Amino acid sequence: MSDKRNLFNKVWDLHAVQTLPGGQTQLFIGLHLIHEVTSPQAFEILRDRKLKVAYPDRTIATVDHIVPTANQARPFLDGLAEQMMSAIEKNCAEFGVTLLDLKDDRQGIVHVVGPEQGLTQPGMTIVCGDSHTSTHGAFGSIAIGIGTSNVAEVLATQTMFLNRPKVRRVVVNGELAPGVYAKDVILYIIQQLGVQGGVGHAYEYAGSTFDAMSMEERMTVCNMSIEGGARCGYINPDQKTVDYLKGRPFSPQGADFDRAAAWWLSLASGEDAQFDDVVEFSAADIEPTVTWGITPAQSVGVSQPLPKLSEVAADERTLIREALEFMGLKEGQPIKGTKIDVAFIGSCTNSRMSDLREAARIAEGHKVAPHVTAIVVPGSQLVRKQAMEEGLDKIFEAAGFEWREAGCSMCLAMNPDKLQGREVCASSSNRNFKGRQGSPTGRTLLMSPAMVAAAAIEGHVADIREFAGAMV
């Protein structure tokens, strides 16, 4: 008899400890990732209740959010950042949790480090006190962001109580046109389904477009599932998944790896798997995409104009009017040509080697516009090292970009990297909410790393397809 369960429900059922009378599932958590921002209070809860970390070997900590990327000398100039850094060092030492700190060459953004080290594997349940834990779903895992109280719950019990979401299959078929990247695909999906479209759902991404993507591209897609309201997003494991994980430090080795790989592949949703909902899109409809407003759904293709109030539903006009006013834009105007002040390449969405290589390809032989401040922040120390071995740092620096240490940087501005006043930032990160990048009046335009590089050089939003040499 065939198993009509999709991957999500297979993995959920494998990790279910019990179902409560109210319908919640107590779920065993295979991997718990923590960082310095959402863990201090959780450890204090354990201390107050005289509890231990139940399975320290299933918890891995890193530092990323508050760490400076220009000067990492200790003590940090920011007293609060130094306090948080000291807290995670003390907590991990006291409770026996492995910490990848600045002295460890494995340090980096938590959602870059997990896959990089082979900690993230298909069929796992993964949680972290960070919204973008959905990144790890690219490997065929259930990966969910949790709150601080949940962090304490998982530390103490290695379980947590969750409502099982519905599962929506999001299908995209076709070959992406030159200049269109994974970032454009997920921005387009969010634009079509809305920021609340995924509420109560997990997203399974399927179709030939995702099949063709590299693992790093798949991580970009899954990373932003949360921006579309989904509880998480995932892609079924395939041979690319297996090849990526082979030889990673925390991956199984030898015959154990072969057995694990066979099991991983068996988890994929079958042809007769059932879903609560299915939506389909064509890759041919997707072009380089740029957000123009204050939610990730407020985006347009780079060749398209901003919406006109008279052409949108009445219930959407208030938010669109608010966004236009905040961004200093006019209805119906083109997004192309919008002046920028800052260009940021980095974040857990787009700071991996493929992102940096593509941005460097665009930057090579050009100069950043005189009025633009441009920075490149690798997602981990290992990414940074490899990029420098390939000479990408020299390409960026020759073009006028600042080459930084690994960290979250300007994605959320819990560190010195912040917008000032009304600056406009072309950003490869994941959120464009008011104040997201450090200034209450700062403005964020989300786009692919290649598009950010082109904008930095032109000094305004540019169509990568028209950028000199970009499509070679």
Q: What is the C-alpha to C-alpha distance for residues 76 and 164, in angstroms, rounded to an integer? A: 42
Of 110, 118, 170, 115, give the one whose Cα is nearest residue 145: 110
Q: What is the C-alpha to C-alpha distance for residues 53 and 161, in angstroms, rounded to an integer? A: 18
Domain 166-249+260-285 has CATH 3.40.50.12780: no
pLDDT recorded at residue 468:
61
Q: Where are the domains of the chain?
A: 7-162, 166-249+260-285, 333-466
pLDDT in tens, 377-411: 999 999 999 999 999 999 999 999 999 999 999 99
pTM of the model: 0.97
Give the number of other CB atoms < 10 A from CB of residue 131.
Answer: 17
pLDDT in tens, 153-179: 999 999 999 999 999 999 999 999 999
Q: What is the C-alpha to C-alpha distance for residues 171 and 279, in angstroms, rounded to an integer? A: 6
Topology match between the domains 166-249+260-285 and 333-466: no
In CATH terms, the superfamily for domain 333-466 is: Aconitase, domain 3 (3.30.499.10)
pLDDT in tens, 203-245: 999 999 999 999 999 999 999 999 999 999 999 999 999 999 9
pLDDT class for 1, splitting at 50, 70, 90?
low
| CATH code of the domain occupying 7-162 | 3.30.499.10
Q: How far is CA 237 from CA 121, 140, 261, 444, in A?
A: 9, 5, 9, 33
pLDDT recorded at residue 469:
59
Q: Which phi and psi (to 5°) does residue 365 adopt?
A: 80, 5
